Structure 1
Amino acid sequence: MRGLLPQLVLRVLAAGLATVLLGAAWVLWATADAAREDARITAERVAQAIAARPDFIGLAFGGVAPVPAFLDWQGFPRWTLIAPGICVEFGADGRPDHRRCGSYVAADTAPPSWFGKLAEAIGLVPDPITRPVRTRYASNARVTAYADPKVIIARAWDRTGDLMRLALGMAVGGALLTGLLVGRLLFPFRTILSGIERLQSGDFAARQPRQKVTEFDRLGLALNDTARALQEARDTRTDLTRRLFTVQESERRALARELHDEFGQCLTATRALATAVAQSGETTARDGARIAEISGQMMQSLRDELSRLRPPDLDELGLDAALQRLVAGWRGRLPSVRFLLELSGDPDTVSDDLALSLYRIIQECLTNAIRHGAPKTVRVRLDVGAEIALTVADDGGARDDAPVGNGYGLLGIRERVNALGGSFDLTPADGGMCAGVRLPN
């Protein structure tokens, strides 16, 4: 239970229960203090009343009473001074001869045994109060007033029980009411939290509604401003990335043209001259043959680099034929691996920029499948429709294909796909890996 609202309710309930315990402790203390005060007042008043009746002192201690003997202990007229729940003992030191208790109406329900043990443990029943009685008949008479434990415990239970039931009900009710009120007050927070989660997932289009609570309204407006700024930043980044790839491909195209026009022509002329030299004599022929061989290697390297910079088949034949030749090239280089190409729809209807991006993505996926795995089969499937779906799957074992950088590897694929407004994922599948790309057409 980690939510803010449950924790708040539990803390309010805990505070209420703590208040109940403090209230119960105060009631117990007040009850003990009242019993102690009743015993003191009773002891003093009874001592004063007995001291004012010398006839009673004489009777109590066997002396000669100056008044008739019918004024005995039980008929003493001042016992109305004994407080309820207080008992009084009267007599010589250590030999109380007479005892009388104040009236008290017992409760219908006796306190539980655990409460009695608790009362004894905390000293709820006060100590007895003793007052001397000094007259001409006796000098060692004493009045001792003490609280009846059963009466005091029953009185404390009655007061504490009522208070605890009332306070406990108020604590539980207050916690529930607090939960309802705070839950309603924090309801806008859930909307704001949902907006933050959408921002984390990349959804910058959602906006927060206006709130009635000022603080939440300001927070929602700030969140809207943040979403707007992030959306603008993402759009700017996407546009810059798209422009970057366009400039990159333009530079590659220009570089390929320059290499072909200048470097290629020079190599062709060099090879022709070397052939002519080779036909002119023995030693010269050997040198010319060597020049021709080197020129041929340079021309082949040049063609490979030109193909890497700008696929010639893509410009001359279209995406369909370019992909067919790309896969055929891999079949020729790795005859032990089965390369499959499945095309659906008309790939040649794809725009030039998008076709070039698809070619580069497929080229890099094939390279990663061979470089980072040991596949027996690599399957390429391209579906062209209202949306373009591309999958490149292999059975070379599950792995993490590391990005290479500089426009190649997974990082380059993700950047291209993001710039085109699509999605890319790489997941283990069928004993290997499956790269999936979706792009708007």
Structure 2
Amino acid sequence: MRLVLQLVARLLVIVALCLGAATIWATIDAYRSVDRSTSASAERVSQALEALYWRELLLRSNRMRDQLLPAPDWRTIETMGLISPGICVQFEPSGAFEKPLCGQSKGIGTAPPRWFAATVQTVLGNHATVSRPISARAATAGTVLANADPQAAIALAWRHILENIHVALLMALAIALLASLAIAHTLAPARSIVSALQRMADGQYRTALPRIRSMELAMIGQAVSDLGDRLAQAQEERAVLTRRLLEIRSDERRALARELHDEFGQNLTAILAFATTIEASAGDKYAAGTEIAQDARMISQATRRIIACLRDTLKRLRHPPAEELGLEASLVDLVDSWRSQATTQPMIQLDLQGDLADVRGTVAATAYRVAQECLTNALRHSAAREIVLRIERRTEPENALLVRVEDDGGGDAAKVAQSAGFGLTGVSERVAALGGSLSIARASRGLSVAATIPLAA
């Protein structure tokens, strides 16, 4: 799962938890606000009745105070206006058959769900009764009792939640959206870092990264750049070392070829001459077909086979003809040699594109070795009926030589790439030493081996 999605998912979980906590707090606050409304209603009604009590006492001074209770005409519209919705007020001592005076409870809101009412009732409990004396100076003036209607209190809490949940939900969605955009913007440089790593995996080690403001991502980007520089330096050092090893190997092959030619060649030629002389002498002195003549003839035949094998060995040890004849002529000679070996060989097509006249030296030798090895593998290890050898010189900006060998003999490119023998490994090292690349891919009906060799090498 992408890091941005993980962070956004965690953010949504946090927002949901905060929204749930805000809902619980709003429920508790709304439920407790009923207690505050109850206390405020009792206070307002007691103050109003206190004024009514003292007025009646002054107007009716000839009556006993206990005859003023309950206070006359206290159940008025003005008194009801002092009572909050869902609150009921009762005067003590109350008159016969007197019911509490309740505030307007209709229109408080829709009836809450049963689970909400049961949960609030169980968790938060009932509301306490609030008692306020009519007058602090006259203890016999009576008392005002205020109670909250449980159903009205729960309905008020539910209405309060419904009124605030929309705002809280919109705020939560806005916070989640803005935070998600901020997270995505902050982690955007990670894509460039991943792209740089992918380019490094493809061989482009020195990759420039854009400026990153985040300190942590900037440190990662710097580490990736340093790693790319080290890999590029190691690749360059490896290429230099490979070129040096190839030079040393070429020198050793030339020295070995000289030794074989000078020592073995001369000795084998002398042996052949001696055997020929012995055969001729034995034929003159004795009858033809004697044992000495036959032995000398066998020595001559074995010597000729050894000389032929030595010539083939010297041909492989010496420089490829591309360094002497040029790339184009050597490739034509290579294809003609394969064509002339047998009539059952698959058809080999040579496709030369671009000016190859000035392609010489190490580049030409490497291209010749690639073509030679790929043709050998295609002829020996596949049932191809047609092989195409294409040499293309690409100009700027690539300025490289492309060597491609395709066949129609089937085969699995992945298996061939994993189980490449010493021939392909050596060719790949040669190409890499010149800063090029070699790839094995699936062709339309077989395999395709392509090597790109920079001409600047």
How high is the TM-score relative to the length of structure 2? 0.73
Unaligned runs of 5+ in 2: 43-65, 131-144, 283-289
Distance 1:367 1:278 in 2: 41
Which position in structure 2 is the counterpart of 1:271? 272
Distance 1:41 1:318 in 2: 109
> Is it true that 1:221 corresponds to 2:229 in the alignment?
no
Q: 2:385 aligns with which of 376, 391, 403?
A: 376
Distance 1:161 1:348 in 2: 87
Distance 2:449 2:222 in 1: 40
Query: Given the superposition, is the C-alpha separation of residues 300 and 368 from structure 1 closer, same or farther in structure 2, using an over 3 Å criterion?
Result: same
Residue 383 of structure 2 aligns with an amino acid whose one-letter code is A
Which position in structure 2 is the counterpart of 1:343? 352
Residue 389 of structure 1 aligns with an amino acid whose one-letter code is L
Instruction: Check the 8 A contact 2:86/2:105 in 1, yes or no.
Output: no
Which position in structure 1 is the counterpart of 2:18? 19
Which position in structure 2 is the counterpart of 1:415? 429
Which position in structure 2 is the counterpart of 1:118? 115
Query: Given the superposition, is the C-alpha separation of residues 320 and 8 from structure 1 closer, same or farther in structure 2, using an over 3 Å criterion?
Result: closer
Query: Given the superposition, is the C-alpha separation of residues 198 and 438 from structure 1 closer, same or farther in structure 2, using an over 3 Å criterion?
Result: closer
Which position in structure 2 is the counterpart of 1:60? none
Which position in structure 2 is the counterpart of 1:2? 2
- The alpha carbon displacement at 1:191 in A equals 3.9
Residue 363 of structure 1 aligns with an amino acid whose one-letter code is Q
CA distances 1:230-270 after superposition (whole Å, capped 9, x unpaired): 22111111111122222222221221222122111111111
Give the number of equivalent residue pairs: 398
Query: Given the superposition, is the C-alpha separation of residues 177 and 394 from structure 1 closer, same or farther in structure 2, using an over 3 Å criterion?
Result: closer
- The alpha carbon displacement at 1:87 in A equals 5.0
Which position in structure 2 is the counterpart of 1:59? none
Query: Given the superposition, is the C-alpha separation of residues 167 and 88 from structure 1 closer, same or farther in structure 2, using an over 3 Å criterion?
Result: same
The more displaced of 149-158 and 318-327 is 318-327
Instruction: Check the 8 A contact 2:37/2:84 in 1, yes or no.
Output: yes
CA distances 1:76-135 after superposition (whole Å, capped 9, x unpaired): 89x989875245899xxxxx9764252135446x32x5x33232331438458799xxxx
**Which residues of 2 match residues 303-318 of structure 1 at below 5 A?**
303-310=311-318, 313-314=321-322, 317-318=325-326
Which position in structure 1 is the counterpart of 2:166? 165
Which position in structure 2 is the counterpart of 1:301? 309
The more displaced of 338-347 and 296-305 is 338-347
Instruction: Check the 8 A contact 1:389/1:437 in 2, yes or no.
Output: yes
- SS of residue paired to 1:427: strand
Distance 1:312 1:188 in 2: 50
Query: Given the superposition, is the C-alpha separation of residues 101 and 412 from structure 1 closer, same or farther in structure 2, using an over 3 Å criterion?
Result: farther
How high is the TM-score relative to the length of structure 1? 0.75
Unaligned runs of 5+ in 1: 44-66, 91-95, 132-143
Which position in structure 1 is the counterpart of 2:370? 361
Which position in structure 2 is the counterpart of 1:429? 443
Q: 1:390 aligns with which of 383, 392, 403?
A: 403
Which position in structure 2 is the counterpart of 1:141? none
Residue 332 of structure 2 aligns with an amino acid whose one-letter code is Q
Query: Given the superposition, is the C-alpha separation of residues 430 and 158 from structure 1 closer, same or farther in structure 2, using an over 3 Å criterion?
Result: closer
Which position in structure 2 is the counterpart of 1:252? 253
Distance 2:36 2:169 in 1: 30
Distance 2:39 2:324 in 1: 118
Query: Given the superposition, is the C-alpha separation of residues 272 and 348 from structure 1 closer, same or farther in structure 2, using an over 3 Å criterion?
Result: farther
- SS of residue paired to 2:350: strand
Q: 2:332 aligns with which of 324, 331, 344?
A: 324
Instruction: Check the 8 A contact 2:126/2:150 in 1, yes or no.
Output: no
Which position in structure 2 is the counterpart of 1:179? 180
**Which residues of 2 match residues 180-195 of structure 1 at below 5 A?**
180-195=181-196
- The alpha carbon displacement at 1:392 in A equals 1.4
Query: Given the superposition, is the C-alpha separation of residues 258 and 19 from structure 1 closer, same or farther in structure 2, using an over 3 Å criterion?
Result: same
Aligned-residue CA RMSD (Å): 3.9
Distance 2:365 2:155 in 1: 95
- The alpha carbon displacement at 1:347 in A equals 4.2
- The alpha carbon displacement at 1:381 in A equals 2.4
Distance 1:277 1:315 in 2: 43
Instruction: Check the 8 A contact 1:85/1:101 in 2, yes or no.
Output: no
Query: Given the superposition, is the C-alpha separation of residues 253 and 346 from structure 1 closer, same or farther in structure 2, using an over 3 Å criterion?
Result: farther
CA distances 1:329-384 after superposition (whole Å, capped 9, x unpaired): 32233421222333345545322222221221111101211232111122222234
- SS of residue paired to 2:387: strand
Distance 1:391 1:150 in 2: 88
Which position in structure 2 is the counterpart of 1:199? 200
Distance 1:276 1:37 in 2: 136
Residue 241 of structure 1 aligns with an amino acid whose one-letter code is T
Query: Given the superposition, is the C-alpha separation of residues 119 and 322 from structure 1 closer, same or farther in structure 2, using an over 3 Å criterion?
Result: closer
- The alpha carbon displacement at 1:440 in A equals 2.5
Distance 1:343 1:41 in 2: 102
Instruction: Check the 8 A contact 2:127/2:150 in 1, yes or no.
Output: no
Which position in structure 2 is the counterpart of 1:134? none
